[in-house]
Structures are given as structure tokens and as C-alpha cells.
Amino acid sequence: MKDHISVTGQDGTFAAYIARPKTSPAPAVVVLQELFGVNADIRKTCDELAEQGFMAVAPDLFWRQEPGVDLNVTSDADWQHGLRLYGAYDRDAGAKDVKDTVNAVRNLPQCNGKVAVLGYCLGALMVFLTAVRYHGLDAAVAYHGGDTEKYLGEVDGLNAPLLMHLAEEDEFISKAAQAQIRAALTKKPNTTVYGYPGQNHAFSRHNGTHYNAAAAALANGRTSEFLHQQLRTPGRVSAQPRLHQRAAEIQAYGTVSHLLPLDLEEPVRLEMTAQLNQLLADTMTLRDLYKKSHWQVAGPTFYQLHLLFDKHFNEQVELVDSIAERIQLLGGVSIAMAPDVAETTHIERPPRGREEVPVQLSRLLDAHQTIIRQTRKLARRAVELGDDGSNDLLVSEMLRANELQVWFLSEHLVDVPLITATA
């Protein structure tokens, strides 16, 4: 069907309703259902978003229990049916489904690469769980998410801009729970929470019992402005530099994003980026150790070693770039700043002053030994995990370059006469 797509996730394939804008590529919004399934209300929400220029996709969250749920919001029998599904719903598995949907939507040719998630009630809770557990969202919008207060311990994982709407008279979210939510989210600079006095749960639901046109228009207007701000390029330009800007991180260190279809599962990429960052920290330390030795070398072999150390420094610079780019390619974040490197490296820190040439050479060789040992171990692990690209980097570039440098350094520690041969 033209208005449905299939999403292949980690645990199986499920359907999703899709509403397409007139112009593409466009930013996308993944719309998450209430306990009524992907029903007429959710489909209408998707259609309205498409009219605003967004591609809207609503995945079937209940696909594991009962695929294709489409319940009537005014039917008591359907309400009871939805409550049973809601009570049995696996929220942890659901968060993975949402993440898989975001990844699938981002890779659609009609998407410009920007994806937000928007949800109501159960869907709003899933918006929060997805936003705090997975990175890569460009924006998140939550309407009256029940049970959100039970997961506030995970709020530190929130990096995406979040807009939340709370009905102040919500019969399913107590005032105490709303206060807890506000207190937790106040600490996040990229989060906005709006309250709607006098409104009950689902005040913005089409044809809902508690639908309030004025409150719904206010909330939906704020949502539209938020989504356009977060997902679209500003139309106005100016020659005035915008100085002293700060904002929340777009990706936390130690996480991986899902931008490239590499056919490597998230646990593999997490493990490889963590190990590669350790190797990167050690390589950056060795690089700087070569520059220190280049500057501070002394004695009769000054000229030869001065040039050799500089040559090796430049080769290590290239290795640093190769490792960092591999980490980024896998969706990770490369370690970069000197204080972070100093805290992470396994290589012994030298004194600030000058040391004798044999000590300089020995320090460099010890550092190489640390890196070579780690490189061999990680190369074998990459083979086990099926990460052929990292294995190629480790063997073809890292191992061979370090082994060659070890050879050149070691020859300078061989105790042989320079003028007179021994008998």
C-alpha cells in the first residue's frame, strides 16, 4: 500500500503508516501512538504534519502482541482492549522499535536526514525513553506521557531538544508526578515543558472526550514552531557573526549514532569505538612524545635523531587521523582534547625536562610496545566481530608503521663502535 511502509528492526519486521509531503526530500517526524494503535487519530496527525511539509511515519508499536491495532477512541470496548495491550506492552523492546524506525526513516530517499519523534500518552513515554537511551534524534515532542516520572533516573542521557506538553488536571499523571518531571527536566538546557491549566488527559486528541480546541491549537502551534526550528534550515541570513555560542552536545562521548548502513550491530560498534579510542589516546601520546624528543634531543647524534623523530612524528599524525576517522565512521566520537587523552592513555608520562638520548629512545620503544600489543589484540577481536574495516586499519596501517619505527629506533641503541672494529 502506498500509505504504508515496512520497517525491519532488530527483532522483526513491522508496518508503519506514512504520510508524504508535497516536496521532498523533507525532514521526518516519527509519530508514536496511544493505546488505540495506529488509528484514525494518529493517521490524521500524520496527514496534518505532511501538510506542514514533514514526512510523517507512525510505526505499529503493538506488532508483537497484535499487529494492525486500530481502535475507536469513543468505544468503551476498544478502550478496554487498548488497556490490556498497554498493560502487556514491553517498553524496553518498544524503545528499540522506535530507534529502528528512526534509522529506517532517516535512510528513506524522501528524508533529508533530519528526524524527530512525537508521541501521545504511551507514545509520549516512548519518546522520552528513546530520547534518553539512544542518540541521533534531532528533536522530540511528548504530549502527556504517562509513567514518565518512573524513568527520570535516565534523564542524564537526554541530548535531543525536547518539548513536553502536560495537562495540569491530567487524571493519569498526578500533580506530584508532573512536579517531578518539571524538576528533572529543568536541569536540561535543551528542554521546554508547557502546562495547560484546566486541561485533562488527551486534550489535543481529535474527537476525544476531553478535546479542547483552544488548548490543542496552542500546543500544536508550539509543536509546529519547535519542529520547524529544529528540523529546518533558517531562512534568514546575516553578515553579523554570532559569537560566544554554546549549546548542548549533539552526541555524547561513548555513544554511537546510526547514520551509516554499515551492517555492523550497535554493540559491535560500541565495543570497537571504545577500544579504538584507547588506541587513539595512546597514539596521540606517542605522537607528542616524538615531538618532545625532537625538540629536546642532545648529543653527537643530534642531527640524525632530530630529523628521525620529526619524521616519525609526522607518521604518527597520519595514524591519529586514520584512527579518529575510523571511530567517526563507526558512528562514535573520537577523543580529542589533551586533558582527556592524558587521563586515558596507558603510556607513562615523561618529565618536563630533557633526558639523555638512551632514555628518550627507551621511552619511545616502550610506548611502541604498548601500542603494538594493543593493536594485535584489537585486530584479532575485530576479526571475531566481523569488523573487517577496522582490522584492515589495524594491520595495514597501525601495525606496520609502528613495527617499522621500532626497527629504526632500536638500531640507535645497539652498542657498536663507530671508528675501530673489535678484534
Residue 206 pLDDT: 82
Do 310 and 399 lie in one domain? The reply is yes
415 among known catalytic residues: no
CA 423 – CA 420 distance, rounded (Å): 9
Is residue 237 scored above 70 in pLDDT?
no
- Whether 237 maps to a domain, the answer reads no
Work out the angle at residue 16's Cα, subtended by the Cα atoms of residues 13 and 19, and round it to the nearest 5 degrees.
Answer: 150
The answer to whether the CB of 376 falls within 8 A of the CB of 399 is yes
- Residue 217 counted as domain residue: yes
Pairing of strands 4-8, 13-19: antiparallel
Of the candidates 165, 201, 258, 294, the residue annotated as catalytic is 201
**What pLDDT does residue 2 have?**
64
Looking at every residue in the chain, the average pLDDT score rounds to 92
Q: Is 201 exposed, middle or buried (0-12, 13-18, 19+ CB in 10 A)?
A: buried
Whether the CB-CB separation of 42 and 33 falls below 8 Å is answered with yes
pLDDT in tens, 120-172: 999 999 999 999 999 889 999 999 999 999 999 999 999 999 999 999 999 99
Which pLDDT score is estimated for 260?
Answer: 67
Residue 256 placed within a domain: no
* Residues 98 and 171 both lie in one domain: yes
Residue at which a domain ends, from 175, 207, 231: 231
Residue 1: which pLDDT band, with cuts at 50, 70 and 90?
very low
23 has pLDDT over 50: yes
Q: Is the dihedral of CA 40, 46, 51, 52 positive or negative?
A: positive
In-domain check, residue 422: no
Question: Both 12 and 155 in a single domain?
Answer: yes
Q: Which CATH number covers residue 141?
A: 3.40.50.1820
Residue 161 resides in a domain: yes
DSSP H or E stretch at residue 29: strand 26-32
Nearest to 118 by CA among 93, 135, 137: 137
Is residue 236 pLDDT above 60, yes or no? no
If asked whether residues 293 and 366 sit together in one domain, one would say yes
Phi, psi of 322 (to 5 degrees): -65, -45
> What whole-number distance in Å separates Cα of residue 359 and Cα of residue 65?
67
Whether residue 198 sits in one domain with residue 71: yes
Q: Judge whether residue 290 has pLDDT over 80.
A: yes
Per-residue model confidence as pLDDT tens digits over 359-372: 999 999 999 999 99
Q: How far apart are CA 46 and CA 28, in angstroms?
A: 10
Higher pLDDT, residue 416 or 175:
175
Is residue 242 one of the residues assigned to a domain? no
196 and 308, same domain (yes or no): no
Q: pLDDT for 327-364, tens place per residue?
A: 999 999 999 999 999 999 999 999 999 999 999 999 99
Enter the C-alpha cell of residue 249: 552536545
Q: Which DSSP string do the residues of 231-244 spell out, in sequence order? A: HS--S---SS---S
Look at residue 235 and tell me whether its pLDDT is greater than 60: no
Q: How far apart are CA 168 and CA 215, in angstroms?
A: 12
User: Residue 3 in contact with residue 19, Cβ under 8 Å?
Assistant: yes
Catalytic residue among 170, 282, 288, 387: 170
Q: Are 191 and 331 members of one domain?
A: no
167 and 315 housed in the same domain: no
> Considering the domain boundaries, does residue 92 fall inside one?
yes
CATH for 393: 1.20.1260.10
Decide if 170 is catalytic: yes
Domain boundary among 231, 256, 284: 231
Please indicate, yes or no, whether residues 270 and 406 belong to a single structural domain of this protein.
Answer: yes
166 found inside a domain: yes
Model confidence at 259, pLDDT cuts 50, 70, 90, reads: low
Higher-confidence residue of 252 and 88: namely 88
- Which of 208, 231, 254 delimits the end of a domain? 231
If one counts the domains in the chain, the total is: 2
Cross-sheet strand order for the sheet of 26-32? 4-8, 13-19, 55-59, 26-32, 111-120, 139-143, 162-167, 191-196
Residues 74 and 157 occupy one common structural domain:
yes
Residues 224 and 273 in one domain: no
Q: Helical H runs in 187-297?
A: 213-231, 266-296
Q: 342 lies in which domain range? A: 266-411
Which residues lie across from 59 on neighbouring strands? 16
My answer on whether 220 and 280 are in the same domain is: no
Q: Is residue 2 classed as helix, strand or coil in its secondary structure?
A: coil
CA distances from 285 to 271, 335, 343 (A): 22, 12, 11
